[in-house]
Amino acid sequence: MAWFNPFADRQTARQRSGQAAEDEALAHLSQQGLTLVERNFRCKGGEIDLVMEDGATLVFVEVRQRSSMAFGGAAASVTPAKQARMIRAAQFFLLRYPAQPACRFDVVAIDGGPKEGSRLSWLKNVI
């Protein structure tokens, strides 16, 4: 199930590639039983690609895609600075809940390009 974006024709190739990676991650996580709460949550402090529920646990998901394994691949691209922005965004997101639910941070790393095929890795509870 692809997410409809009315501004898709205004996106750069990089944005379209990122959107496709998020679509792939969302499909994979949905197949694993997670439910989408919100997509592309943005606030002043940062951004979260996917907010999902895994049973009673709220899962903040960062999706990273790299065409090459050079420099450590997609998972290695989640730097400490990016982790801090994710935490700030999650704190802001949680303000809408009267009682904080159980939470975790996951990363979906997609490595490889179209020629060699991509490999999706779901890393749970990374922060």
Tokens coding 72: 């450590």
- Residue 21 within any structural domain of the chain: yes
Domain limits for position 35? 12-123
Over the stretch 25-38, which tens digit does the pLDDT of each residue have? 999 999 999 999 99
Q: What is the pTM of this model?
A: 0.83
- Residue 41 within any structural domain of the chain: yes
CB 111 within 8 A of CB 74: yes
Calculate the CA 113 to chain-centre distance.
18
- Residue 86 within any structural domain of the chain: yes
Identify how many contiguous H helices and E strands the chain contains and give both numbers: 3, 5
Give the CATH number, domain containing residue 65. 3.40.1350.10
Q: How many domains does the chain have?
A: 1
- Residue 6 within any structural domain of the chain: no
Over the stretch 46-103, which tens digit does the pLDDT of each residue have? 999 999 999 999 999 999 887 766 666 787 778 889 899 999 999 999 999 999 999 9
Q: How many CB atoms are closer than 10 A to CB 67?
A: 16
State the Cα torsion 28-109-121-22 to the nearest 10°: 0
- Residue 22 within any structural domain of the chain: yes
Rounded to whole angstroms, the Cα distance separating 86 from 67 reads 23
- Residue 88 within any structural domain of the chain: yes
- Residue 94 within any structural domain of the chain: yes
